[in-house]
Structure 1
Amino acid sequence: MKNRPINTLALVALSFFLLTGWMSTDHLPGHGNPETPGARTNPAYLRAVGIGVSELESSVAFYTHGLGMKETTRLIRNNRVEVVMQSADARGSDIVLMQYTDNKARAFDQNPGKIVFYAKDVNQFATNIVSAGGQILLPPTAQPQFDGALVGFARDPDNNLIEMVGSNTATESFMSAFGIGVSDLQGARDFYVQVMGLKEQRYIEIPGQYNEYILESVVPGSSALVLMHWTNGIERNYKNNPVKLEFATGVPVDLAIAIKQSRHPLLQFPRPDKRRNKAIVGYAKDADGTLIEIKRSHKNYLSGAGIGVTDLEAAIQFYTHGLGMKQVGRRLRHNREEVVMESADARGSHLVLMGFNDGKPRNYQQNPGKIVFYVNNTTTFVATMVAAGGQILLPPMPQPELGGVEVGFGRDIDNNLIEIVGVPTANHSYFAAFGIGVSDLEAAKTFYTETLGFKLSQFLSTASYDEYILESTGGSALVLMHWTEGSDRNYRDNPVKLELRSLSPLGAAANIKQSRNHVIQLPHISRDQGMEGAMVGYAKDSDGTLLELLKAPWGNED
């Protein structure tokens, strides 16, 4: 039986519950079993979700124009063509549109799940859905009891349920959650928590509609997984729907073994896929036959950026009194002393000041990168920076092409370029991005995106340099810079390092080695003062920039 639209009154009630969790419970008696020991030692996250579609190009057009997504990749699989779609905000999990080529009969219009989008302008989002050929079940409706939050419901051309939520956290829109229908709600919850390593965030009952578990990964940045079981009396098909869940983890073999031990179908043990640049891929199914694709991922992010300084104590004073940072750590490494600085707003990556003590000559004055600070009050920030001994090259001025945002440039006491950007959302200031000079911009972009998993956010070309801005889950952005104004720049072996925290430091090292970049030291337990017990490895990119490989707080046990 084809899914019928939910009635409007029920949807209004549903909106209340979804927004507030009024009926939610966190591990109430009867809702959720204790997690099995070791369930989080190899955490996985929902990298992408797949939905079968009846007509691929029409669906690509709908998800592009109706939901603001963009196509990033096309893949030819053994029984289907896949188009990977990324949200407008480049946040959350991707959506994979799947058109099958094996001529087997599939019901694409009876998916018992849902797709949840957060949108900055949810009314415009609904208008776009209609213009692109979708159907509105309930227009975005203000909920006065909950600060006027707007919630609406729609269906795509294949009848998939779309939930729209107005959100101030969205720049444009992004997929915040993906729901799958399950025949045994408790059993599905136990599998995805105990075997796949997700954590229960909330249990919700929608009287006369459905019950659901909202599950999240301990690894940040992906969309939530919602397990739904309908209670409204309408017959639902929960078995073998054309849906897949792409889970990424540091050690896919271990996850495959856990699935097999749980007596769920393991279709393919993780192995290199020649058609996908030897990416490690495996397949399994849950109890309802939902396809689970297992991939290897290291989920690297920039947790710290290091700069060599001529006088460590003087640099500490400058960054403390001039830029509002504070010292939060001190380390003694084999050839240097490091001081870890945190921004005034405690946001972004740490800045690590490195005082080398091995007697080797280093050029601290010609670093071709930059340090970007977002600040609330550019006038006060500049005055404080100058008073601490810094130099202003260009006072912050409104940039019409950037909507009037104030941007200026200065230098610290070691001649490092500092970019100052006025941002009202900053309480005081924070370290927003770190730029490194690279001799080959395109090759560097390929290495940091394809090998280390950073996401390309933007390309900018200025009168002085070209740059790629790369982002990841957590930390400050990484900027790759190549100067074009004709000056002689040294891109090789600068006293700079990137501290990369990873889901799997050993896996990240293996990827770097496979890319033919230099791995100096495989990750192992450190004895360095200030880093005792931490897993630490080292590598270098093609320009000799030092990469320190560390385990993320949510990383697996390598």
Structure 2
Amino acid sequence: MRHTGKHLTFLLPAVLLLSACLSGGGSSNRAPSPTPPPNNDPIPTVNYLSAIGIGVSDLDAAVKLYTQGLGMRELKRLQRDNRHEVILESADGRGSLVALMSFTDGIGRNVQQNPGKLVFYARDPNTFAAQFNAAGGRITLPPMPQAAFGGVLVGFGRDQDNNLIEIVGDDSANHSYFGAFGLGVSDLEAARDFYTEVLGLEQSLFLEIPGQYDEYILQSPVPGGSALVLMHWTNDSVRNYSDNPIKLEFASSDPQALAGALERSGMAIERPLAPSAEPGLENQLVGYSSDADGNLLELRQGIRGYLGGAGIGTDDLDAALRFYTEGLGMHEVTRRSRTDRDEVVLESADARGSQLVLMQFTDGEPRSMRRNPGKLVFYVSDPEQTALDLIAAGGLVTLPPSFQPGLNVVVGFGRDPDNNLIELVGSPAAVQSYFGAFGIGVSDLQAARDFYVDTLGLRQVLFLPIPGQYDEYILQGQGGSALVLMHWTNAVPRNYTDNPVKLEWRSMSPDGLISGIEQAGERVVQTPNSDDTRDDEQVAYAKDADGTLLEILPAPWGR
């Protein structure tokens, strides 16, 4: 197939966008725009692009294309004040959500004129493009290798409503994910200033595509959302930048403070933040503003976080420390004396995953350290040698590592000196070993799953039933080790209540998380506004339905 020079000019920004979005940096070989003047007003919040919304003319057809053609999965349907929304998540569970919006208020909207784009990263761009085409999309330029950028494949297409779809090859994708949303803006510099100085996004790249468009690529300091690309066309084509049927949903550490910042910047608050009465959003804070081009900004409370540390009680701190350092290669990070316990904090040999906190209680309260129905999962490069190291360090191997055909990995089990279950998983990605998951026993598996997903914001990765043993949900936060919720099904009595276990939870908004826990009906022990601090960080405490302690601290990107 012969390609024209016009096609090649469209390919250039896609490859550079890949570099920017995946590395968080990069540079253009063209002169950047002038540096904006410094803003001396501190940004009062941290925010990220939690979802984007695009208007569609046929909701059912759009859902079919985005699920069957772009690999997304439907999460839920919402009936909003003036529209139906179908919320979609990428196949890989990465990036911002996509809301397909069908308006019900009778106001005419042109959904064919969006001057932006949606960028999807795919492990196999050719298969992805064929899948998109077969589901009703239109490929305008098949994926082509770009020799100047390492042979990355890039292609373009259009959905039924003429939205530009950019397809970029990415070996890190399991299947595909929504990596960036391009927003057409009438004044590129003013839009850049607004989204960086008021919303707190960070400029990662400026691209000038001669004869086509200029764009700024912006990212949030909070990880996990898609990039926002501000685009202004320079090819003399007529583009409508005003009042397009587009929504940017921003999750904020303090949405009230963000609303105040928007007002101070000259933007009207079209609907003040208030608990929503809309089905599916009951009691969630929702407010509306807009940018200078009339794009709708929906403000939400953000709580994004992760398991920063997992704490287990021990009767013998020295024996436990020896086991985890000599048997599993962990390193001691620090020691703390808390109100009712002494803690030793450990880090994995590979410095990956959450920290492990060994807790020896000093308050004289009786606790059984040997009845914890959970587990600690370590990914190791040499399971057989690690099993021998566990025994030498004072542990017990209950099931020697062996290949599991159904999982295609080597798995073994053991016990630490306090009878905690240790699972060893062979992994070629482990240089030595790392603490990959922490399992806690729960009395009601589905209720616990709903609490940790709906209230704490974890993402469900997998439901795994182990016949004759236990069922478990594997959940993942924005970093750290996975949290595994376990309920035993082998008729052996287990104690799920008030075990000497804690979850150190890092959140972009401890106050927002505490509010959500209260709304969920669980117990808040201490709010973040108390005088209690840990390493100069305010500490909050709550408990889940089984009494597992949640120690809540700010995330590094939430301070």
Whether TM-score is above 0.5 comes out as yes
Structure 2 partner of 1:18 = 17
Q: What aligned pairs does 1:115-514 form with structure 2 within 5 A after superposition?
A: 115-275=118-278, 276-402=281-407, 404-463=408-467, 464-514=469-519
Aligned residues: 548
Using the TM superposition, name which of 132-141 and 476-485 deviates more.
132-141
What secondary structure does 1:554 align onto?
helix
Distance apart, 1:382 and its partner CA: 1.8
Write the deviation string for residues 380-438 of structure 1: whole angstroms up to 9, x where unpaired: 22222222122112222222222x12222111111111111122122221111111101
What secondary structure does 2:448 align onto?
helix
Structure 2 partner of 1:540 = 543
Instruction: Tell me the distance in 2 between the aligned counterparts of 1:241 and 1:432.
Output: 44
Structure 1 partner of 2:91 = 88
Distance apart, 1:27 and its partner CA: 11
Contact 1:197 1:217 in 2 (8 A): yes
Instruction: Tell me the distance in 2 between the aligned counterparts of 1:133 and 1:234.
Output: 27
Distance apart, 1:527 and its partner CA: 5.7
Instruction: Tell me the distance in 2 between the aligned counterparts of 1:145 and 1:19.
Output: 13
Distance apart, 1:524 and its partner CA: 3.7
What secondary structure does 1:294 align onto?
strand
The letter for the 2-side match of 1:220 is: P
Instruction: Tell me the distance in 2 between the aligned counterparts of 1:140 and 1:38.
Output: 43
Using the TM superposition, name which of 391-400 and 406-415 deviates more.
391-400
Distance apart, 1:269 and its partner CA: 0.9
The letter for the 2-side match of 1:251 is: D
Instruction: Tell me the distance in 1 between the aligned counterparts of 2:290 and 2:55.
Output: 16
Using the TM superposition, name which of 62-71 and 168-177 deviates more.
168-177
The letter for the 2-side match of 1:139 is: P
Contact 1:525 1:533 in 2 (8 A): no
Structure 1 partner of 2:521 = 516
Write the deviation string for residues 170-215 of structure 1: whole angstroms up to 9, x where unpaired: 1111111111000000000111111111111111111111111111
Instruction: Tell me the distance in 2 between the aligned counterparts of 1:19 and 1:482.
Output: 42
Q: 1:17 to 1:508 in 2, by over 3 A?
A: closer
The letter for the 2-side match of 1:345 is: D
Contact 2:312 2:359 in 1 (8 A): yes
1:68 to 68, 71, 92: 71
Q: 1:77 to 1:29 in 2, by over 3 A?
A: closer
Instruction: Tell me the distance in 1 between the aligned counterparts of 2:73 and 2:13.
Output: 30
Instruction: Tell me the distance in 1 between the aligned counterparts of 2:89 and 2:434.
Output: 28
Distance apart, 1:19 and its partner CA: 4.2
Instruction: Tell me the distance in 1 between the aligned counterparts of 2:11 and 2:183.
Output: 21
Write the deviation string for residues 24-83 of structure 1: whole angstroms up to 9, x where unpaired: 3899561434244311x3111110000001100011000001111000010011211000
Instruction: Tell me the distance in 2 between the aligned counterparts of 1:38 and 1:181.
Output: 27
2:100 to 75, 97, 122: 97
What secondary structure does 2:62 align onto?
helix
The letter for the 2-side match of 1:448 is: Y
What secondary structure does 1:208 align onto?
coil
Distance apart, 1:255 and its partner CA: 0.6
Contact 1:506 1:523 in 2 (8 A): yes
The letter for the 2-side match of 1:323 is: L
Instruction: Tell me the distance in 2 between the aligned counterparts of 1:386 and 1:468.
Output: 29
Using the TM superposition, name which of 160-169 and 239-248 deviates more.
160-169
The letter for the 1-side match of 2:346 is: M
Q: 1:144 to 1:97 in 2, by over 3 A?
A: same
Contact 2:532 2:539 in 1 (8 A): no
Contact 1:17 1:206 in 2 (8 A): no
The letter for the 2-side match of 1:487 is: V
What secondary structure does 1:382 align onto?
helix
5+ residue gaps, structure 2, are 21-25
Contact 2:64 2:135 in 1 (8 A): yes
Using the TM superposition, name which of 89-98 and 442-451 deviates more.
442-451
Instruction: Tell me the distance in 2 between the aligned counterparts of 1:87 and 1:119.
Output: 11
Contact 1:35 1:193 in 2 (8 A): no
What secondary structure does 1:547 align onto?
strand
Instruction: Tell me the distance in 1 between the aligned counterparts of 2:535 and 2:242.
Output: 50
Distance apart, 1:234 and its partner CA: 0.8
The percentage of aligned residue pairs carrying the same residue is 54
Q: 1:444 to 1:26 in 2, by over 3 A?
A: farther
What secondary structure does 1:168 align onto?
coil
Give TM-score, length-normalised by structure 1: 0.95
Instruction: Tell me the distance in 1 between the aligned counterparts of 2:30 and 2:418.
Output: 52
Write the deviation string for residues 210-236 of structure 1: whole angstroms up to 9, x where unpaired: 111111111111111110001111110
Instruction: Tell me the distance in 2 between the aligned counterparts of 1:93 and 1:283.
Output: 19
What secondary structure does 1:486 align onto?
coil
The letter for the 2-side match of 1:383 is: L
Q: 1:37 to 1:437 in 2, by over 3 A?
A: same
Contact 1:265 1:285 in 2 (8 A): yes
Q: 1:306 to 1:25 in 2, by over 3 A?
A: farther
The letter for the 1-side match of 2:358 is: L
Contact 1:520 1:538 in 2 (8 A): yes
Contact 2:508 2:557 in 1 (8 A): yes
The letter for the 2-side match of 1:436 is: I
Distance apart, 1:340 and its partner CA: 0.8
Contact 1:31 1:203 in 2 (8 A): no
What secondary structure does 2:11 align onto?
helix
Distance apart, 1:300 and its partner CA: 2.5
Structure 1 partner of 2:23 = none
The letter for the 1-side match of 2:344 is: V
